Amino acid sequence: MTTIGFVRHGITAWNKEKRAQGSADIPLHEEGIETAKKAAERLSNENWDVIYSSPQLRARQTAEIILEKLPHAELKFDDRLREKSGGEIEGTTEEERLERWGKKWRDLDLGMETNEKVVERGLSFIEDIRCSGEEHILIVSHGGFIENMLRALTPDREYTESLNNTSLTILELADERNNCVLFNCTKHLL
């Protein structure tokens, strides 16, 4: 069985300002660095063979901080783990979107990547790692990406809350049915 731990990157200034990030390469905020260190400390007591990360700066920084506490693990970057592209909405707040495009801005073609495309590239990555022989895989990525993957990999489960920054979600991948054994856990931040 393959176990995957999804870690959402640490908080950024744009997270704090509630700006859409998408493919923008935003660094971690000072607070994000500190919470990534707490996540790393928590993960140091667990058995992870390899860390895969989105190459986007906020995820890369989070993964590198985690790697410091998991020196036996190898860190690999994969572009398929990047966040859903936000097109024209990147860098804007909800208020700014309403001002520019009106209440139905979500119905407009603003160049955003579809959830289907995110799932397609994400499942391609999952299939590759399933064939790799690695059993305990940590993936550092983004809220939108992880949420799309959870819905695709565990369609019988309903997820109603958004993922917190540096949260850990663990899936066990099986031939018959994948199982989410931990969701959005931030006990390391308490």
Catalytic positions are 9, 83
Cα–Cα dist 135/146, whole Å: 19
- Is there a contact between 20 and 155 (Cβ–Cβ < 8 Å)? no
- Is there a contact between 144 and 119 (Cβ–Cβ < 8 Å)? no
The amino acid present at 188, given as its one-letter code, is: H
| Per-position b or e across 69-91, b if 16+ CB within 10 A of its CB | bbeebebebbebbbbbbbebbbe
Which residues does residue 139 pair with via DSSP β-bridges, in sequence order?
6, 52
Q: In what order do the strands lie in the sheet with 179-185?
A: 74-77, 50-53, 136-141, 2-8, 168-173, 179-185
Q: Which helix (H) or strand (E) holds 141?
A: strand 136-141
